[in-house]
Chain A
Amino acid sequence: MNSHAEHATDAHGHAHPELGFIRKYVFSEDHKIIGVQFLFTSIIFLGLGGILALLVRIQLAWPHAEIPFIHNYFPDNGGRMPESFYNMCFTMHASVMIFFVIIPFLTGAFGNFTIPLMIGAGDMAFPKLNMMSYWILWPAFVLISFSFFVDGGAAASGWTAYPTISSVAMPAGQGLASPAAPGSGPGQVLWLLSLLCVGVSSMMGSVNYITTIINMRAPGMTLYRMPMTIWAMFITAILQAFALPVLTVALILQTLDKTIGTTFFLPDGLSFGNWSPEVGGGQPLLWQHLFWFYSHPAVYIMILPSMGMVSDILATFARRPLFGYRAMIYSIAGIAGLGFIVWGHHMFQSGMDPRLGTGFMVATIMIALPSAIKVFNWLGTIYRGNLQFTTPMLFALGFVSLFIIGGLSGIFMAATPVDIYIHDTYFIVAHIHYVLFASSLLGIFGGIYYWFPKMFGKMMNDNVGKAHFFLTFVLCNCTFFPMHMVGLAGLRRRIPDITAGALEAKLLPLNEFMSISALLLGLAQLIFVANFLWSIFFGAKASQNPWKSNTLEWTTGDPVPGHGNFDTVPIVHCGPYEYGEHGDKDNCPQTEKSTTPVAAH
């Protein structure tokens, strides 16, 4: 610990000359600045992903109408969105939201910002690697943005990019255009390369997080005194470190298939119109196994950090110890462990041996157990509390309420026979949006409102924040809940015109309702953006510990500490959740000796 202690005092002791603007705010090695950089880019891509989502919703609700503004762009198609363009919209919506919004928000922004502060470290273990993990994202940003303008448009074979539609290519020398779909040409290649960069970034981040959490905890910060946010980040980083190499391999193989004509995923005997690839011998299911071996754990990568942050927020504003602290840790670990053996539940109808499906079903249904335990523990935490309904608390409670729906609907599709019917319907779309929007994103909003004072030294406006919560909570249910019903009625995902099928046409009114709700939901997010930007410049000045929280980030000298975080190395004396009666105050920061020990769980 000695070298670490020196680093902390040294860095804050103004012994070094002040860094210039570029080194301080652009190519910064300070984990807090890097976290905020991730935060800003994620918010910008949230806007892009949101616009793509609204284009999808507009097409779904009014498939034959000429939409004002949009129709100017499609004079060749009678002013209506072409089918390929629609396919591109939902493909890029999902890709952007998953790889450029949720993951960078959670592991990039919050992982970076919270880990050293909450464990009492001066910075990450590898500050330069940390800087690199952000800047390697920029090639990804450029490639993915540029892909919208190439011949055939951006990728359009779904965010899952299943071969053969995504990967079939013309023979060498005939360009990158695909015989299967216009968006599977150069757009798909850029998509693959861009995701490779994102993967490398996450990999660098996860190595750094694991090392930092293991090696750089302040004296007294035992593993079982770490806040849930840190536990969640730790386990998420392990998930990333083990699962990402598999995705990286898959992306490289598909890139080779597309560019130099290998056939890892292309079997014999294909034909497209009058043209047949001359060689084959590959296996399209291989991609699905590799892809989901990463992408199912990725679903947990996209929810566990939110769960950790929500646990901290709930305990802080319920003024109660977190119920079942160890059970919470074990259930996160359980979700992560089981998360590696459930990928096949995406493939029940894929042509994989159905006997494998049975095994994957057992693991998948059992993963509901740790999720259920977490919900019970959150309810136990607010029991007998003194609930302070601040904006972060509302988002945390909203998370609990809607995660229940997203968790329970997962059981339907985990059951193989039931999945036969609901697979590839809107029921699945409802489920994923309850988990990723109504849970992950609500958790992210909670985290932003909660740590904003630490990030910028200002408070976000609480009343405006509450209005944002009110609208988001109501409208996201209006947007996503009816998807369960239309899915059960047989509405398939990924179709631009729902009037084509016998079962689907009658669902148009419900689709209009969802789309109008979605448009309003999109508008409601402008309230957040306005509040965020306004508060950075004009928000009320934050005190050192505005939420009377216990964790170490609120014990730094200045509200926004400099590079190095702590004036002196904090010594940790107690766990993070000693809220409730402590003499004349109702919290006990981790740096103080606990006066009234709260019953340990």
Chain B
Amino acid sequence: MGNKGWSVLFGVTMLACAIGFAVSPLMGWWMPEGVSAHAGAVDGLFYLIYAVTAVAFIITEVILVIFMWRYAKTPDGKPPIAPNAGFPTFLKPFESFLNDHHKIELAWTIVPSIVLLVIVFAQVNAWAEIKYATRNRNDGTKVDSARAQIAVSARQFEWRMRYPSAARFKGWMAEPAATRKDFESFGKIPHFDDVHVVNELHIWKDHPVVVHLTTRDVIHSFNLPNFRVKQDALPGKMIPVWFTPTKVNCKWDESRQRYIDGYDPAGKKEKDKEYTWDIACAELCGWGHYRMIGRVFVHKDQAEFLDWLQKAEAEGTRRN
């Protein structure tokens, strides 16, 4: 391969990477649609960083390839450029700047630091909104702040969900102030009438939910990629996770006598992969880690959720 050939190799390879990345959304190799209230913020910040890094990638790789081409050793051994050669015409106006290394170094230190600071401060608020207890704590005094609560206990290799009984839940919604203590005790103290379900997380659209996350053996990670939610479950600790679903993915199936997920309400399509939302454990937890997968069911409203809860409760009682 000739000396100039190497710059071609670098250029072609980097171009292939860039094109591959650019077309991957079209191929489906990309983030799934976000279906929670904060997903837009997360994705927006992703695209901000994508834009900045894409520009940096293109500038540096193009310069590298051009330099490799332009300054490759010549076959006759003469230097590719005379030591006292001037700048090309389009760079002439910047000649004094380009000759002053100190100024160049200052420029390429200050400009990236400003860009990086912009990136940093763009992130802070979204992170706080998603994860800080101070921004999410429910004090139970306002009706519209009454939330769905679910206690999730992870274990090798399944997710066990604990819901309040339908009667208790209705009490919380009707009289938030009077039931405040009981509401707040739910995460820590299991009740005899709690409803236990394995691997199914039921919530309803446009209503915030808080998950009290625990594990009884090893570290697991409560990972809901479609919702842009991820939180490790840490042995010995209960960690709150908040999010608000914004899309419906389940319906009552008369023939099977149960609610099914993977349902696209707009297209009335069943078994739709895009509407199948996994709770896929994201922290190595043993041999069955890969198949420690639950499902999220987002009901269309509170009434439908209550209907499911009552059915689950009845089923549990029957079994007992």
Contact = CB atoms under 8 A, between A and B. Distances in A.
B284 interface: yes
A280 B104 CA distance: 58
Contacts of A272: 156, 217
Interface residues of A, number: 108
B108 A373 contact: yes
Contact of A485 (B20, B57, B71, B108): B20
Interface of A: 82-84, 87, 157-158, 162-165, 168, 180-182, 266-272, 280, 282-285, 318, 323-324, 327, 349-351, 354-355, 357-358, 361-362, 365-366, 368-369, 372-373, 375-376, 379-380, 382-389, 394, 397-398, 400-401, 404-405, 408-409, 411-412, 415-418, 420-421, 423-425, 466, 470, 473-474, 477, 481-482, 484-486, 488-490, 492, 494-498, 500-504, 506-507, 510, 580-581, 599, 601
A351 B232 contact: yes
> Considering the complex of A and B, which 5 residue pairs feature the smallest CB-CB distances, nearest first?
A267-B236, A495-B290, A354-B131, A351-B234, A485-B29
B167 interface: no
Interface residues of B, number: 98
A327 B285 CA distance: 44
B31 A389 contact: no
B71 A382 contact: yes
Interface in B62-97: 63-64, 67-68, 71-73, 79-81, 83, 85
Given A280-B236, A418-B46, A474-B13, A386 B79 contact: yes
Contacts of A423: 230, 282
A334 to B, nearest CB: 11
Contacts of B236: 267-270, 280, 282-284
Given A382-B71, A418-B49, A365 B119 contact: yes
B258 interface: no
B104 to A, nearest CB: 8
Given A498-B290, A502-B277, 17 more contacts: A87-B286, A164-B217, A165-B219, A266-B235, A269-B216, A349-B221, A349-B231, A361-B127, A362-B120, A369-B109, A385-B80, A389-B3, A409-B53, A492-B281, A500-B291, A501-B278, A506-B273
B41 interface: yes
Interface in B296-311: none
Contacts of A366: 113, 116-117, 120
Contact of A417 (B52, B71, B123, B291): B123
A324 B42 contact: no
Given A372-B108, A424-B223, A501-B280, A405 B83 contact: no
B72 A489 contact: no
B9 A470 contact: yes
Nearest to A351: B234
A404 B41 CA distance: 27
A507 B29 CA distance: 7
A388 B283 contact: no
Nearest to B27: A485
Interface string B202-239: 00000000000000111101010110111111111101
B31 A470 contact: no
A287 B79 CA distance: 56
B124 A358 contact: yes
B253 to A, nearest CB: 18
Given A418-B49, A470-B1, A424 B282 contact: yes
Nearest to B99: A599
B67 A379 contact: yes
A162 B217 contact: no
Contacts of B223: 424, 492
A21 to B, nearest CB: 43
A485 B23 CA distance: 10
Nearest to B63: A379
A389 B72 contact: yes
Given A424-B230, A500-B291, A501-B280, A365 B116 contact: yes
A584 B148 CA distance: 82
B287 A473 contact: no
B257 interface: no
